[in-house]
Structure 1
């Protein structure tokens, strides 16, 4: 069966990386399109400074994904500061140097914890403050460079990302590089990133005051002067930032092929899995399992597989303070956690060519009985691809440890899936397909409901979509008589007396859509 992603134009790399930048925005505690707006500011500064076209290309992608490594140290940020997203959001308002930096650390260490816990955390951090902070920054820069390579960005961008935390005055980390030792592309990106936030929060005058106060310290005086010469002139327009930013992307006209799209989505899955130590490898494993199960059921395996690669990208928008909590979540924490599939859909649906993938990925925690999240969808609203991915994610998650439980192992994961099917949460046919793909012995139940064959499922699906026997025959390259026989057998197996009954059955079992 042809994949929906091959029936329409595949996305460009720039579109997918723009969606990734929106995920990064969430991890920074910033509104969507912060990094896109920053990239536009950076490009205009590059023009003012007379950079070459090659340098402008590097400026664009350096600014767009300069914080791509922010998720890799989220676990450690949460250890020191509590809410990793909140502390990153607050960090935009302070110059990380001297007394303001020390006050910032003291105000944020162990935020939300008891006084005794905060004092213990302060003592541990300050016993080797520079070493601990350097370790965080090294983790960020290393992962950023590796991920830039995995998503196909140039060696120039990869090298530039190593300087994200350096300062013009040499007071940064991890190497203390200064002045022209820091690539001009990073010096521009640093100012653009900060200026976008201050301009949005405090207006043009606030942004100008901020960059002037850091001239010669965090920022290159030449870049500051280029900005303050006409600060309003570098501000992105209030119109469609997404479209405008993509118009300036270096490779805006080059579409990915199927293999390149898969490689990029795998890299995005690896990106999000680094957020928590216990999810390393989760996305690709779930995707592989979902693909095998989808093939068993005769589904569009490419869409299910690709949705599996990126189903958890919304996790970036939820603090590690929640993901790493060993105890029961509070109501507020639980509601925040339940949002991550919605954020996944929101991020991916920005790219028109990923709409089908986004829809399946966003439903990976929905249940047939309506008890899932984030939207509480019911059986009639969930197609077979949704059901298969939900089972694959549930099984793979059970194999992995969590802060509140040990890994369940294959037998425990299988038992969990079967219990959820018995309780009405998961589709029994999808459960069987996933367990078969995972190497478990099949149960007596057919992998397809009521013993339907793969061909009969195709016929039922077309019946539910309103196709006549003649149209079904043409679509499947069969004779009308053969189609009529298939329809009669389908009706007999599912206990339907007419097309309306068959359509209702297809809805209930997630067979109405391919």
Structure 2
């Protein structure tokens, strides 16, 4: 059988999730990872307990996990939800500078008339409107923390994300020691990382001192400014490696059910980005998995398709809801942002050990056999059966869901749409048939391009990779004679007389085995 791929550690998956959160904040990848390093250094200076430091770590790493869940509301008030979050790091959220910031960002990027209407609505009760928004954020963050298993201490602490030491924060106006020390540390680490990256150590220190006693706890600020430079990760050191090395549960490795639970939760998290996509990732994963079983894919490929279904849209977080919710046709620039989201999915996932193959499948969910898809414009020869299956599942499920520019299609219309795309050469016809079969559109056995068994399909893919009979026998723990018999039967079924012909068939039908990973 195929050599097992080592599953990732829990913190590695959560670190990948933090990179996705960075996208929604408009920050460079690994902002939250660097912030967690700073926060844990502060926790040591403040002599916090081991349990408190563990809470500091995950609070800081994922403190903005709720930010995407209120993206629709942010876009309603501020237009570009990502840009306003990015710029908010440079403003102390109090007094006249904050008011000017709000006024300058209301309905950002919208026509003047729309900006005036939104501003009038917001200014009638600005604090009440923002308090409701922050309450929604904190409630979502706590619920998501519980959903992905971060524990009650992190869940409780995340409720104070928008509070301030001086009591002028939202939604409750908590102040001083009523705010958990873990959040007071996270508050400073989060903004200090941004100011250090933009203005250096002196800029970060100046920011901390200017917010001392207001936004930030004086005791935490004093611990920070005592030797700020020593707290920042060295530029030569990989922030991913450093942050993971100090994780409180760095050695906890996920088992198969644990990984599936966490990836399902992340898919749910992603779908909160837009109200019309909730449940999308679960449904795509279920369709893809069932269709993969229908086509007799090997068990590891079935699992990879299912996991890619849960994760394929994580890059959506990096595109503003101002684009996703637009009613009118997208501009060229907006369309380019949309085309980037599968690439962003790949950027988030490829750093997680053990998920490289899942990442490759997820990245290709908008690629087409005729090369007209995105982000890379891959054509049939570069798309394996798992990639083709996921693309078909995404196309069908998306048609069933409403979008701002169209209503949801009824199942029969969604099926016709998928069949038309298969006929037109964009979607693999066999994979489309499999998706439609498991979605209940036919009771007949799905059409296959061949009569290959699951084992023969697996061997054909390895042949196309250039492995010899001996190599395949070693990999699958079978005798070389057994492999030779399988190869001969496979050649006969696909009408090939040698490895070149068999390899071309495998390439054309998406059967090339994935490269070794992990």
User: How high is the TM-score relative to the length of structure 1?
Assistant: 0.95
CA distance in 1, matches of 2:113, 2:509: 54
CA distance in 1, matches of 2:253, 2:419: 42
Secondary structure (helix, strand or coil) at the match of 1:364 reads coil
CA distance in 2, matches of 1:140, 1:281: 19
Give the 5 Å matches for 1:330-369: 330-369=331-370
Q: 1:213 to 1:473 in 2, by over 3 A?
A: closer
Determine if contact 1:384/1:513 at 8 Å carries over to the other structure.
no
Aligned equivalent of 2:387: 386
Give the 5 Å matches for 1:56-455: 56-238=53-235, 239-299=237-297, 300-441=301-442, 446-455=446-455
Q: 1:476 to 1:39 in 2, by over 3 A?
A: closer
CA distance in 1, matches of 2:483, 2:157: 63
CA distance in 1, matches of 2:507, 2:439: 27
Determine if contact 2:7/2:353 at 8 Å carries over to the other structure.
no
User: CA shift at 1:136, angstroms?
Assistant: 1.1
| Structure 2, unpaired ranges of 5+ | none
Determine if contact 1:432/1:442 at 8 Å carries over to the other structure.
no
Deviations 1:440-489 (A, max 9, x none): 11678x532144444542343243234556766784858948954x5555
1:464 pairs with 2:464: yes
User: How high is the TM-score relative to the length of structure 2?
Assistant: 0.94
Q: 1:120 to 1:39 in 2, by over 3 A?
A: same
CA distance in 2, matches of 1:350, 1:397: 27
CA distance in 2, matches of 1:211, 1:472: 61
User: CA shift at 1:222, angstroms?
Assistant: 0.4
CA distance in 2, matches of 1:33, 1:466: 38
Deviations 1:124-164 (A, max 9, x none): 11122122111211111011101111111121110000000
User: CA shift at 1:234, angstroms?
Assistant: 1.1
| Structure 1, unpaired ranges of 5+ | none
User: CA shift at 1:490, angstroms?
Assistant: 4.1
Determine if contact 1:167/1:217 at 8 Å carries over to the other structure.
yes
Secondary structure (helix, strand or coil) at the match of 2:77 reads helix
CA distance in 1, matches of 2:482, 2:193: 66
Secondary structure (helix, strand or coil) at the match of 1:180 reads helix
CA distance in 2, matches of 1:163, 1:105: 21
Q: 1:191 to 1:54 in 2, by over 3 A?
A: same
CA RMSD of aligned residues (A): 1.9
Aligned equivalent of 1:508: 508
Deviations 1:256-281 (A, max 9, x none): 11111001001100111000000001
Corresponding residue pairs, total? 509
1:26 pairs with 2:8: no
Q: 1:131 to 1:456 in 2, by over 3 A?
A: same
Q: 1:420 to 1:195 in 2, by over 3 A?
A: same
User: CA shift at 1:294, angstroms?
Assistant: 0.7
CA distance in 1, matches of 2:219, 2:452: 71
